[in-house]
């Protein structure tokens, strides 16, 4: 009884906390003192209290059956995972000294994470068997509806530009990734080499576009690019071709009915020949 009523008290306290944070849009939620991205910390606090509320109501209305309601329990797991991962993003930004160059990436990740959480919340609330529990959660936590906000095209383009050029920032964001070291040939090593060569060749291709030329040989002969630049384009193209090449096998090696296809094709050719005659 002691533990039960303590949990009831905790649930009521969290419901009130959820109400305050939800109706203020997260402005009344707590955040670490002097932290960067105060707004994101507050939104995580708001989502955390909403998650605690819907988890309590799910257990209250379903009990042990919640484990068998995998569409609900999986979505609750998605929310919890996003809370953990987004908190880790903000924590890493603080630990690494708040690098300004990382701000667009943090903003992008947080907005995408909010959307994934919102979709999971909608899935839970739409499928709770007890409709009153879903209604209570919406009134307390999301009075204006579950918030959705996709990252702007400008922010998306900025993040893509950061990740699509070699830089110390990109290396810092992707540490300890195996790039095929120690192997003369490795798919990831080939991919990274192609990435570097294509990036280096981008200014050369820009010169060709400005001259309205598409053929590197023609551009070289016209003096738009030098012989060295022509060779760099050829090297980049060869690297890209190697990366995008796919395996191809004779039909007889992969299909037990290859001979049947050959007969059908031959028969079709003879039919067309007879019709033509």
Residue 11 has a pLDDT of: 87
Q: For the stretch 103-139, what's the b/e string if a residue is b when 16 or more beta carbons lie within 10 angstroms of its beta carbon? A: ebbbbbbbbbbbbebbebbbbbbeebeeeebbebbbe
pLDDT interval class at 264 (50, 70, 90): low
Share of the chain above pLDDT 70, in %: 94
The CATH class for the domain spanning 2-170 reads mainly alpha
Contact 240, 198 (CB under 8 A): yes
Q: What is the pLDDT of residue 95?
A: 93
Q: How far is CA 216 from CA 79, 226, 230, 241, in A?
A: 51, 10, 6, 16
35: alpha, beta or left? (left if phi > 0; alpha if psi -120 to 50):
beta
Q: For residue 32, is pLDDT > 80?
A: yes
Q: Tell which wins on pLDDT, 164 or 276.
A: 164
Task: Average the pLDDT over 118-126 and give the result.
Answer: 92
Q: Which residues contact 6 (CB under 8 A, 6 or more apart)?
A: none
Q: Judge contact between 65 and 33, C-beta under 8 A.
A: no
pTM of the shown model: 0.74
Secondary structure percentages of the chain, helix, strand, coil, to 5: 75, 0, 25
Model pLDDT for residues 127-173, shown as the tens digit of each residue = 888 899 899 999 999 998 888 888 899 999 999 888 888 888 888 88
**What is the Cα–Cα distance from 210 to 235, expressed in whole angstroms?**
22
Average pLDDT of the residues in 4-28: 90
Does residue 100 have a pLDDT over 70?
yes
Please list, in sequence order, all residues whose beta carbon lies within 8 angstroms of the beta carbon of residue 75, skipping any fewer than 6 positions away.
Answer: 120, 121, 123, 124
Domain ranges of the chain: 2-170, 177-244
Q: Two tokens at 195?
A: 């990435």
Provide, rounded to the nearest whole percent, the portion of the chain with pLDDT above 90.
52
Looking at per-residue pLDDT, the higher value among 254 and 244 belongs to 244
Model confidence at 262: pLDDT above 80: no
């Amino acid at each position: 009884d002691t533990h039960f009523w303590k949990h009831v008290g905790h649930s009521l306290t969290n419901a009130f906390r959820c109400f305050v944070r939800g109706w203020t849009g997260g402005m009344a939620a707590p955040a670490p003192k002097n932290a960067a991205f105060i707004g994101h910390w507050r939104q995580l606090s708001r989502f955390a209290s909403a998650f605690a509320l819907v988890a309590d109501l799910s257990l209250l209305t379903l009990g042990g059956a919640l484990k068998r309601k995998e569409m609900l329990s999986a979505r609750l797991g998605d929310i919890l995972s996003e809370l953990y991962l987004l908190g880790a993003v903000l924590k890493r930004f603080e630990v690494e000294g708040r690098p300004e160059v990382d701000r667009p990436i943090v903003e992008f990740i947080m907005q995408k994470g909010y959307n994934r959480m919102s979709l999971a919340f909608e899935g839970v609330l739409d499928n709770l068997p007890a409709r009153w529990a879903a209604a209570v959660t919406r009134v307390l936590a999301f009075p204006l509806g579950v918030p959705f906000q996709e990252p702007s095209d400008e922010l998306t383009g900025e993040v893509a530009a950061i990740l699509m050029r070699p830089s110390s920032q990109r290396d810092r964001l992707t540490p300890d990734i195996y790039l095929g070291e120690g192997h003369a040939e490795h798919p990831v090593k080939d991919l990274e080499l192609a990435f570097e060569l294509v990036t280096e060749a981008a200014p050369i291709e820009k010169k060709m576009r400005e001259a309205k030329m598409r053929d590197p040989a023609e551009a070289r002969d016209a003096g738009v690019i030098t012989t060295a630049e022509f060779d760099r384009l050829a090297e980049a193209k060869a690297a890209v071709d190697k990366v995008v090449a796919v395996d191809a096998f004779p039909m007889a090696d992969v299909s037990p009915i290859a001979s049947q296809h050959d007969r059908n094709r031959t028969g079709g050719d003879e039919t067309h020949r007879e019709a033509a005659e």
